[in-house]
Structure 1
């Protein structure tokens, strides 16, 4: 095993792209995420076209993908904090996911496949994904020096942007050529490839596992750490606010685009993909600006821009060319803003929490900001039935603006700003990534 980069005698670490272990970790995540994007289309298509699934069965299949996050989200952080080495758990999760995905085409070939089987596969892959994410963030601190945490975060958010742009197109091609069940093999192979790449990482892990006082006490320790720390509390509140109103907007987005703005259906997918392109640009710019201005300042500016696209969409009128032009510009900018915010949020959390609490604070924050998505979607749909589409979108813009209050009244303001210098081995933490798409921040 080669020594950790944290202990390198060199005062200036080499650029991330020249660090073999970071390249392996980044490539593993990019391949795994892209494979997951393929399965988001292939598995539902398998249920609909081959198994003639009912609406109730499709609802159960959709819920199965997110259910593990609700059932295991908080506990996964406690589990991660008890580990001396995180990478073995990450590899095991990828291998379990590979085996589960591979059963879909095998069961189809032998005539055993049914909707219950698909639901079980979704639950297994979802559970493995929750555990993987809980271990992945603390593991990042072992591979990347503190001075490069923000740049590394930006790279991972770029992975999500790449997957959001290329994944759906690749999925459609594979389904067309191989049929839906065999296309799921792409997901299995992506998990296997990720596991092999993770196995090749040479950086040693030297984590001091937190002493456990039982699962419930471990979980409550993570909750207490988030709620009592002024910076972490502000980040959590802003993330929950943004995600709630982002999902409320998503619930009515398609109806509004088609019925109110009369956007051709064939162009809506291209408009959504622009957020992924913007995310790539945002990752590139954030990695560079953070070195000059620091993560706090970028976060303070980024949060102000969150309502811009939703407000523009809510007020949009005029000819089709004008609508498309404005949606193209605002969609691309928002994709970049999402990645800039999420990147700096993760880096600040990594800086602010002690190493023995990283997994739990990460899991607590992820549980909250992802768990609120369902509530936001439900609220947006119900409100649109009573108020109409355009008023709900304007309300979402106003609600999104509330996140600015949480950030600007916190110690993240310039007079409390942390310098953009490497953090010493002390308080550190992280947040799992927001999805780099405007529909699911």
Structure 2
């Protein structure tokens, strides 16, 4: 079988995501900095702004999953999403130059881009099955996860330079350009999407219910979704007030505000490299159980850290690097497990159901973080996020994954004993 790195269409798909995610890292820093430094946004407004990017997962995520299972060709939809996102982002610097930019404008753009992101993600996983053969999908998912890590590793530094040189609103022109570049790369993919029998159209509610029901009935996928929903809820709550916390409590300069993303990206890159190897060596369930133990670490350090700038940067960067390894290992193994356990005709809807829960939690978490920061203060809000992150551990350790791990270990031990016995003969 041809290695993925030598498969042209996979390289194009990978490159499209790499370009977009690098540009999106600029937005992740430039948009909140614009809101805080130029528009004097309050903690509550920052919470709403953070939530706006993820709320579309709750509003349109499930119907989009049905759409992803219905259509014959998914690639044109991916291209259109990138073009719409690029157009929406470019309105921010234009509005700023015209003196029209407000926090409400930023929230509106976040909603548009978030809707495109929902559609893109729900179409990407089914589309991946037409580009990559089944035996290579774990490796392919790991490769796609490395995209996010590379972007988080270099993106904040790039964003810091662009914000310093161009100002935060003008830096967003780079993000708009990356969306267009991604659309061109996706359009260059040559692999024909296989003809699939299209089932008769039924009530939208019924098709959505089939996806949710398939997820709810599968105990392992249900546990993974609950764990992802929990960590995302409190990660978004933390992120909603992170810029305010970093600037006003920790005293980090603008160029170092992105240290959390840089550390996470460095760890995520390592995680994308080791996840397939760990999965083959120990099995996916064991990797998932081990990874979740590290999830609360970044929350703990963020809530407790204090002192000089260099010390804060060192602790936050190191903790986020460790968490980055764990989160990407979790994402790779859970994604591969979801593809393997989901019937092909339900991939779009089950994937949309998972995204509805895990990504929709980001929107709720953003609002939660804004309210907590407003009512409790910034550092107490960080401690609330740490307490919530601890709940991710029982989500998996009290699930059937623990039993699967024990059975897999017993099977490996039995196979090893058989191998040694055969060798002695």
Structure 1 residues 211 and 407, CA gap change in structure 2 (3 angstroms):
farther
- Quote how far apart the aligned CAs of 1:83 are: 1.3
Structure-to-structure mapping, 1:376-415, within 5 angstroms:
376=365, 396-397=385-386, 399-412=388-401, 413-415=404-406
Deviations 1:111-149 (A, max 9, x none): 485446655544333222221111111111111122222
> Which residue of 1 is the match for residue 252 of structure 2?
265
Give the CA RMSD over aligned residues: 3.8
- Quote how far apart the aligned CAs of 1:329 are: 3.5
> Which residue of 1 is the match for residue 77 of structure 2?
89
- Whether the 8 Å contact between 1:154 and 1:343 is mirrored in structure 2 is yes
> Which residue of 1 is the match for residue 417 of structure 2?
none
- Quote how far apart the aligned CAs of 1:19 are: 1.3
- State whether structure 2 residue 67 is matched by structure 1 residue 76: no
Higher share in helix = 2
Range moving further from structure 2, 114-123 or 152-161: 114-123
Q: Secondary structure at the match of 1:202?
A: coil
- Quote how far apart the aligned CAs of 1:23 are: 0.8
Q: Secondary structure at the match of 2:147?
A: helix
Structure-to-structure mapping, 1:285-364, within 5 angstroms:
285-311=274-300, 326-364=315-353
- Whether the 8 Å contact between 1:212 and 1:218 is mirrored in structure 2 is no
> Which residue of 1 is the match for residue 175 of structure 2?
187
User: C-alpha separation between the residues in 2 aligned to 1:340 and 1:187?
Assistant: 27
| Equivalent of residue 147 in structure 2, options 159, 169, 176 | 159
- Whether the 8 Å contact between 2:96 and 2:169 is mirrored in structure 1 is yes
- Quote how far apart the aligned CAs of 1:61 are: 5.5
- State whether structure 2 residue 13 is matched by structure 1 residue 25: yes
- State whether structure 2 residue 222 is matched by structure 1 residue 233: yes
- Whether the 8 Å contact between 1:78 and 1:360 is mirrored in structure 2 is yes
- Whether the 8 Å contact between 2:251 and 2:309 is mirrored in structure 1 is no
- Whether the 8 Å contact between 1:249 and 1:396 is mirrored in structure 2 is yes
User: C-alpha separation between the residues in 2 aligned to 1:79 and 1:386?
Assistant: 41
> Which residue of 1 is the match for residue 4 of structure 2?
16
User: C-alpha separation between the residues in 1 aligned to 2:105 and 2:301?
Assistant: 44
- Quote how far apart the aligned CAs of 1:240 are: 1.8
| Equivalent of residue 100 in structure 1, options 78, 88, 95 | 88
- Whether the 8 Å contact between 2:123 and 2:348 is mirrored in structure 1 is yes
| Equivalent of residue 53 in structure 2, options 57, 62, 65 | 65
| Equivalent of residue 354 in structure 2, options 329, 340, 365 | 365
TM-score of the aligned structures, taking structure 1 as reference length: 0.77
- Whether the 8 Å contact between 1:241 and 1:400 is mirrored in structure 2 is yes
- Quote how far apart the aligned CAs of 1:379 are: 5.0
- State whether structure 2 residue 128 is matched by structure 1 residue 131: no
- Quote how far apart the aligned CAs of 1:300 are: 1.7
Deviations 1:373-414 (A, max 9, x none): 344455567668898888876665554343333323433322
- Quote how far apart the aligned CAs of 1:243 are: 2.3
> Which residue of 2 is the match for residue 170 of structure 1?
158
